[in-house]
Amino acid sequence: MLDVQLFDLHTFLPKPYEEALLPRLKKAHEELQTGTGLGGEFTGWVHLPQAYDREEFARIQAAAKKIQSDSQALVVIGIGGSYLGARGVIDCLCSPNYNLKKKETPNVYFVGNGLSGDALSEVLDLVRDVDFSVNIISKSGTTTEPAVAFRFFRELLEEKYGKEESGKRIYATTDKARGALKSLADAEGWETFAVPDDIGGRYSVLTAVGLLPIAVTGVDVEALMEGAAEMMNVCADGSYDSPAWQYAALRYELYRAGYAIEILGCYDPAFRFMTEWWKQLYGESEGKDGKGLFPASVEFTADLHSMGQYIQEGRRILFETIVRLGASDRQLAVPRDETDGDGLNFLAGASMDHIRDRATEGTLLAHSQGGVPNVIVNVGGKGPRELGRLIYFFEYACGLSGYLLDVNPFDQPGVEAYKKNMFALLGKPGYEDRKAELEAKLTEKH
């Protein structure tokens, strides 16, 4: 089972903090469990791993099988929480090179998460001559990036299959009752899945938002949910033995001690997009009211050759959280070279896992000695059950962390600022006065 520890604990947090923090953790826990805290109307994810809609879950699995049978590619259109979790799970459990591998399941392409014409054109070209389906994910259906991308892929589907047949290849994950996308899907007869009203986007990976793309790749989504349910039960006990309590407490105390940046790292490149999901989860949940840790990420050992110098000897304002996944699925031993020109024969016969683990331990020692606290999250494996536990662990600890900071961990008011400016500059109706004002400001600054 997953566990959490602070490497060289007493160097960085010499005074006992657990007992003093316990009443606040208990209050935060009770508010999450009962939905009575700030943003409590968006805590549906707390009990989701056991309370999810079994009928919809079966429809997700059936849709995934249909896509596997009639498509060589699935285009997933979404931004932020509508794609990061799914991509993180697929990369972690299937491989960052999933689309390049020989397999019986469709390639999965993620679009609608930016505004690059080149990136969009590339995926259009990749699917133009193959059978493909589209999963459009948007609560409202009006978010600019995915809505624009969907226009292109819907047009291509209709050119390729005709309007009626193309509709059988569009799956809309959206609001269950209202919104532009829901209305369009109902009018066109597309199959729909629900974005729950009580679960925000960054907490939605274990809903249809993440589960449909994940299931298409052949990942055991039942095991993923079972792992999340196991961690849910651990967190529900309401004691400091919960790893989510321990992680939230460590983060809070390090924050109070002056560490402003948390770097999430892992020694497996397959974990890269899980760190991207984690950054949104914690950044949007905590970063408000002038508070919150800044979430960053690294990929070790690669980033030890780029960011390692700063981490070791730069400003002492950061700490690291290192995720240790466990043994690799495939074990490789270093071959012996008779000439030993590189001087590495002392590693001959050693497994890559053994070398990685010694590199991890050496780095932990170096960074902690250099004044960088290290929190270690031991996952214990790389399967869907273990990843389900990890996802729920991070979500629950995030909710606790927000309440410890006295912020609402389930809203994101600051995200709207850029959108208003963008809409005005693009000439959206109703923004005419703002457009003139912004253009004048841009002229001044240039």
Q: Which residues contact 236 (CB under 8 A, 6 or more apart)?
A: 33
Q: What 8-state DSSP symbol labels residue 335?
A: P
Cα separation, 4 vs 241, in Å, equals 10
- Catalytic one of 101, 291, 419, 420: 419
Phi/psi-derived region of residue 275, left when phi > 0, alpha when psi is between -120 and 50, beta in every other case: alpha
Give the chain's end-to-end CA distance (angstroms, integer): 56
Phi/psi-derived region of residue 134, left when phi > 0, alpha when psi is between -120 and 50, beta in every other case: beta
Q: Please confirm, yes or no, whether 168 is among the known catalytic residues.
A: no
Cα separation, 218 vs 62, in Å, equals 12
Cα separation, 114 vs 289, in Å, equals 27
- Catalytic one of 253, 262, 284, 386: 284
Cα separation, 322 vs 301, in Å, equals 12
Cα separation, 50 vs 32, in Å, equals 16
Q: Which residues contact 247 (CB under 8 A, 6 or more apart)?
A: 4, 321, 375, 377, 393, 397
Give the angle 206-210-214 at the CA atoms, nearest 5°. Answer: 110
Cα separation, 268 vs 110, in Å, equals 21
Query: Which residue do the tokens 């609402």 mark?
Result: 408
Q: Please confirm, yes or no, whether 284 is among the known catalytic residues.
A: yes
**Interior/surface letters 262-272, b for 16+ CB within 10 angstroms, e for the rest:** bbbbbbbebbb
Q: Rg of the Cα trace of the chain?
A: 23
CB 280 within 8 A of CB 202: yes
Instruction: Report which secondary-structure segment, H or E, holds 386.
Output: helix 384-404
**Maximum Cα interatomic distance, the chain, rounded to a whole number of Å:** 75
Q: What 8-state DSSP symbol labels residue 96?
A: T
Of 220, 212, 166, whose CA–CA distance to 59 is shortest? 212
Annotated catalytic residues are 284, 419
